[in-house]
Amino acid sequence: MTKPSPETKHQPWFWTSALASILLRLVLIVYFPNTLNFSSRPEVSTPVTSLRRLAEGYWLKQASMSPYAGSMYHGSPLLLSILGPLTVNRGEGQTSNLLCGLAFVLADFITAMLIRGIGQLLQAADIQSLKLLGAGGLSKFSENFASGDIAALVYLWNPLTIITCLGYSTAPVENLMIVLSLYGACMRLAPLAAFGWVVASHLSLYPVILVIPIVLLIGSGLDTPPKKLFLQQTHGDDHKETTNLSLNVSTFSWKRVVVFFLWASAWALYVLILCAISLKEYSGLGEMFKRTYGFILSVEDLSPNIGVMWYFFAEVFDFFRNFFLIVFHINIFFMVLPLAIRLYHRPCFLAFVYIAIVSILKSYPSVGDSALYLGLLGLFVNALADMQFSFFLFSGYLGTLLLSPVMHNLWIWRGTGNANFYFATAMAYACFQIILVVESVSSMLNHDRALKRGTATVEKKVQ
């Protein structure tokens, strides 16, 4: 069933495509800096990711004021120190953030390479699990594509990723950190995973919930079919095999998890010390937490974006505002535990579902978040080969994303529409995202069930 070296067959094709997409971004950044004005679109740049606000925060810092004064910048001081100097190089008042653009292209490229790495690890683990389950008859249950290559190319060539890269938002950096933590966890390198997780949560609050899939990855390894299937196999096989299997199946190494948490606390301490040093003349860590995490949690800025929270909080009475804030944010946390219970044997897929849910329900979503989970969706093509409604979802995404700028134009520039038009497209977009999440989870569960039936029939044949 194994094809003759599929990786080598795909590789030259992969590298040319990847380099072509990088070249496209470079051409668009260098030659069309002002015509494609993506950074002014609300779908692309949000108050927490906008580079313009970062530049203002950096200028305030250079002028010996706290970067959070004036309520423009709401990000991390570390990002200010890294990306801030790159925003200063402007000539003749033109907004040519060329160096920042190059930095974001680099971040995209590294993210794609890391996704490819994760995909290769996942594929190897998949092949191994299928072999352990008696893979001969099970080949028809999953196609064998180079999912790493496909996912990396989907990420690089996704128009949403390109638009985010050209739109001067810091979302590529956040995506890079999230993927770095997942990669570290897949490679079972606790320091790398801890670093990625701490920095990702520091930059935007929501990757905190990724601690569950990362712990599962570090503790018990990559995605496998449900453990029950392995235990079924022990009935008809040699005794030697069963001991190997039981070793593989039942270990959850708490030692590694403890090491991970130690590294995480070390990195967190380091990051907090750096932030404190960076802000010590102004106001310190308290203000940083209030302006970054507090801003994200309290939804102070109600400018329209592609999410659903701005419209609601523009209408809610002050008396109920805190109550509804709690309701909206707990919505994410309520979904964490049941999903973890159902999908604990597939931690990478669990991470994908978490990222998708966060990008629907977070307070300031943008298309950069969608770019990330659409790229990660490519990692699971083998299992999701039978996803229903994929055509409907694709056209729905396309239609909504094209309609959203038109409705914005109708509302703001022409004055013949109003906020309801724009919010309608935001709701439709959220609907399609939810359908995507539900369909992918159900087809993954179907895949597991198919495997279970497959092993049951194989077992019957053996017996």
Partner 1 sequence: MTSSPEDDHPKPKQRPIIRLVIFIIAHSFLFCVACTVAGVLALLLLPVLAKKTYVSENALMPGSASPMISDQDVSGATRFINELNSLTLKSPTAGIEIPRLIALHMANLGGEVSYHKFQNQPNKFHPLHFFTSPDAEANIGNSSCESYATNTVGIIRAPRGDGKESIVLVTPYNPVNLSQNEALSLGIAYSAFSLLTQVSWLAKDIIWLTADSRFGQYNSVAAWLRDYHTPSFGGVGKLHADSCHGNNGVHESKLDMIIETEVSDTFRRAGTMAAALVIKVANTGEESGQDSLNIYAEASNGQMPNLDLINIVSYLAIHGQGLHVKLEKLKSLLDSKWLKFIGELFESVGKIARSLNPQWKFGIPANEYVEGSATLVSSLYNQALGVPTGSHGAFRDYQVDAITMEISPKLSRNTKGRQTEFLFRGGRLIEGVIRSVNNLLEKFHQSFFLYLLTSSNKFISVGVYMIAFLLLVAPLPVLAAYLFSDAAKSNPNSENSKPSKSWRWLYHSKTIFLTHLWGAIVSVIPYFLYQIPIPGSGFGSGSDSEHVARLFLWGALSIFILSVVLVFSGYRSTQWALLKSVMVLAAFIGLCLMSVINFATAEIGALLLVPMCLMIKPLKVAGKLQSALNMVLVIVEFPGVALYLVKSAFGLQNGSGYVEFWYWLESLWVWNSATYIYICMVHLPCWFLCFYILFHPCNV
Helices (DSSP H) in 133-203: which residue ranges?
147-157, 159-166, 171-186, 190-203
Interface mask toward partner 1 for 133-172; x: CB under 8 A: ----------x-----------------------------
Instruction: State which of residues 81, 232, 298, 390 lies at the interface with partner 1 (CB under 8 A).
Output: 390
Q: Which CB sits closer to partner 1, 274 or 450?
A: 450
**Exposed (0-12), middle (13-18) or buried (19+): which is 454, by Cβ within 10 Å?**
buried
**Exposed (0-12), middle (13-18) or buried (19+): which is 436, by Cβ within 10 Å?**
buried
**Residue 402 binds to partner 1 (criterion: CB under 8 A):** yes
Q: Any idea what the Cα angle at residue 280 is, between residues 200 and 209, rounded to 5°?
A: 20
Interface with partner 1 by CB under 8 A: which range of 236-244, 315-323, 337-345, 444-452?
444-452
**Exposed (0-12), middle (13-18) or buried (19+): which is 384, by Cβ within 10 Å?**
buried
Q: Evaluate the CA torsion angle 85, 359, 390, 455 in order and state its sign.
A: positive
**Residue 395 binds to partner 1 (criterion: CB under 8 A):** yes
Interface mask toward partner 1 for 233-262; x: CB under 8 A: ------------------------------
Question: How distant, in Å, are the alpha carbons of 183, 370, 408, 441 from that of 397?
Answer: 28, 10, 17, 18
Cα 6 from Cα 191, distance rounded (Å): 32
Q: Which CB sits closer to partner 1, 191 or 399?
A: 399
**Residue 391 binds to partner 1 (criterion: CB under 8 A):** yes
Q: Evaluate the CA torsion angle 229, 235, 241, 242 in order and state its sign.
A: positive
Q: How far is the CB of 449 from partner 1 (least distance, A)?
A: 6
**Residue 127 binds to partner 1 (criterion: CB under 8 A):** no
Q: Which CB sits closer to partner 1, 322 or 442?
A: 442
Interface with partner 1 by CB under 8 A: which range of 17-25, 169-177, 183-191, 441-449?
441-449
Instruction: State which of residues 268, 410, 424, 427 lies at the interface with partner 1 (CB under 8 A).
Output: 410
**Residue 8 binds to partner 1 (criterion: CB under 8 A):** no
Cα 454 from Cα 442, distance rounded (Å): 18
- Contact between residue 360 and residue 372 where contact means Cβ atoms under 8 Å apart: no
Which chain residues interact with partner 1 by CB under 8 A? Answer: 35, 37, 143, 385-388, 390-392, 394-395, 398-399, 402-403, 406-407, 410, 413-416, 442, 446, 449-450, 453
